[in-house]
Chains A and B, each alone.
Chain A
């Protein structure tokens, strides 16, 4: 081939490739799939690769085991960081710093002690003495359920806020990293499988 023809061919290849490249980049959807396949978390301690697909498909878990705030199974769960912010601090709804104001509830709003301390005299004792975390059945709601149904139940009955969807009205959710650590490792410990708390590198070994 003469070099003139070579140059012509060069122009053709260049134009075709550029056109195809620009066209495809322009039309390809940049959005990730609705339900993630794998997730790469970037953190100060190193990247963590989380196989969402395998966790969903293989270990017999339900979505709400992890997406604990999404009780509506029909809608796609939202990102944990919608609530668990990087800087947020863990402040339970009750106790110091919590948003529940006992004095206001018991004295200002005009309720009986027994409206809440539903076991009568013993009522002053902590709800958690009877409503244990993790235990939840028909005869005895678990700790979280007990609180949620009582607090939210009354608010909604009276048409008040904070209601069911307004988590932040009562809680300041814990830090993002803490939420992940607690959930990932909590479940692994329950199963006796998957990386445990001291296996930092098993999760965080995916590069800086």
Chain B
């Protein structure tokens, strides 16, 4: 029996975990609150302002694009809101409003919508936005500069990754990983409270909203590569634990690398994708130009994703 309905679909592969997009978006957003709320506590109202504006403006851009392209209004799926929240988490609390608005514009319009909207973007929209900002307005994203007016109860009040990069592993000797994990470090609104990100990550992996294969292999890639560097030259390169609890590592592992349409869906490809992303991150941090490597590593992996995802079990049976 043939049904008359034809479904036009894009190419495989797909995977479905049974829930609506909105459930997924809001779950990730709620889990992220575990890191964002402490961020509000550390950085006060400016952080709230940036996060609210980011979520609001991301949704506004989505709506504007919906209207211009005469497509159904899609702000209900929560994806734009999620993009806005993730972008805010990566930014320093004192970021000017126009940077926030540009960030969400790039993420939602350039990173996602012009490729056809949700599910069609080859790159992680948030990573695209951050990469463009990092290249165009590095001073506003420099945590040491952005946060000079804040008084904290920990020392040194300097961005840990910059410290190793400029001054070697000695300079971060006094920073212990437990402090760093508890958010006693300088960084983005939602990137410093590592404990929160860890709990959020575990929750999202268990619920299946993100793929554990990618997150865990990303972290493994970081650990192994950082370990090798550290063994070769312990004076210049910090150890694996340091790299796990600083910069964008944890948010990268759980919320950036795992973005659906820019990451693979097959088992081996997912492991490879994650591990290579982690390794790239450390390569950029240790020998590259940029202080943190997560954003660029994610983009590079997005680029090779279609290739990696080709590694999959051969179809059994005849080929049409």
Query: Does chain A bind chain B?
Result: yes
- Contact yes or no, B162 A38, CB < 8 A: no
- Contact yes or no, B149 A33, CB < 8 A: yes
B residues adjacent to A (C-beta < 8 A): 20, 22, 45-46, 48-57, 59-60, 63, 73, 75-78, 81, 84, 97, 100, 138-139, 142, 144-145, 148-151, 157-158, 162, 166-167, 291
Smallest CB gap from A6: residue in B? B76
Given contacts A53-B151, A205-B166, contact A10 B59 (CB under 8 A): yes
Interface status of A104 (Cβ within 8 A of chain B): no
Size of A's binding interface in residues, CB under 8 A? 40
Given contacts A25-B97, A33-B149, A36-B148, contact A10 B45 (CB under 8 A): no
Chain B residues in 8 Å Cβ range of A49? 144, 148, 158
Interface status of A135 (Cβ within 8 A of chain B): no
- Contact yes or no, A21 B49, CB < 8 A: yes
- Contact yes or no, A17 B22, CB < 8 A: no
- Contact yes or no, B45 A206, CB < 8 A: no
Chain A residues in 8 Å Cβ range of B60? 14, 18
9 additional A-B pairs beyond A10-B75, A201-B167, beta carbons within 8 Å, are A5-B76, A10-B76, A18-B60, A21-B50, A21-B97, A28-B46, A36-B149, A40-B148, A207-B162
Q: Which of A13, A28, A37, A207 contacts B49 (CB 8 A)?
A: A28
| Closest-CB distance, A47 to chain B (whole angstroms) | 7
Smallest CB gap from A38: residue in B? B148
* Cα(A47)–Cα(B159), bound, Å: 14
Q: Which residues of A from 33 to 62 have beta carbons under 8 Å from B?
A: 33, 36-40, 42, 47, 49, 51, 53
Given contacts A33-B149, A38-B148, contact A28 B45 (CB under 8 A): yes
Interface status of A111 (Cβ within 8 A of chain B): no
* Cα(A15)–Cα(B81), bound, Å: 12
| Closest-CB distance, A33 to chain B (whole angstroms) | 6
Task: Give 5 closest A-B pairs by Cβ, nearest first.
Answer: A21-B53, A18-B56, A17-B56, A6-B76, A24-B49
Smallest CB gap from B21: residue in A? A6
- Contact yes or no, B144 A207, CB < 8 A: yes
| Chain B contact residues, majority secondary structure | helix
Smallest CB gap from B101: residue in A? A21
A residues adjacent to B (C-beta < 8 A): 1, 3, 5-11, 13-22, 24-25, 28, 32-33, 36-40, 42, 47, 49, 51, 53, 201-202, 205-208
- Contact yes or no, B167 A24, CB < 8 A: no
* Cα(A36)–Cα(B150), bound, Å: 9
- Contact yes or no, B52 A20, CB < 8 A: yes
| Chain A contact residues, majority secondary structure | helix
* Cα(A15)–Cα(B57), bound, Å: 9
- Contact yes or no, B149 A40, CB < 8 A: no
* Cα(A208)–Cα(B135), bound, Å: 12
Chain A residues in 8 Å Cβ range of B138? 207-208
* Cα(A19)–Cα(B59), bound, Å: 13
- Contact yes or no, B76 A9, CB < 8 A: yes
Q: Which of B63, B162, B167 contacts A14 (CB 8 A)?
A: B63
* Cα(A28)–Cα(B50), bound, Å: 11
| Closest-CB distance, A43 to chain B (whole angstroms) | 13
* Cα(A21)–Cα(B58), bound, Å: 12
* Cα(A38)–Cα(B139), bound, Å: 16
- Contact yes or no, A24 B52, CB < 8 A: yes
Given contacts A10-B81, A18-B57, A21-B54, contact A32 B162 (CB under 8 A): no
Chain B residues in 8 Å Cβ range of A1? 20, 22
* Cα(A1)–Cα(B22), bound, Å: 9
Q: List 30 interface pairs A-B (beta carbons < 8 Å), by A numbering.
A: A6-B22, A10-B77, A13-B81, A14-B55, A14-B56, A14-B60, A14-B75, A17-B56, A17-B59, A17-B81, A18-B53, A18-B57, A18-B59, A20-B52, A21-B53, A21-B54, A21-B56, A24-B46, A24-B52, A28-B49, A32-B149, A33-B149, A37-B151, A47-B142, A53-B151, A201-B167, A202-B167, A206-B144, A206-B158, A207-B144
Chain A residues in 8 Å Cβ range of B81? 10, 13-14, 17
- Contact yes or no, B53 A205, CB < 8 A: no
- Contact yes or no, B157 A13, CB < 8 A: no
Smallest CB gap from B50: residue in A? A21
* Cα(A116)–Cα(B2), bound, Å: 114
Chain B residues in 8 Å Cβ range of A201? 166-167
* Cα(A2)–Cα(B59), bound, Å: 19
Q: Which of A32, A37, A40 contacts B144 (CB 8 A)?
A: A40
Smallest CB gap from B150: residue in A? A37
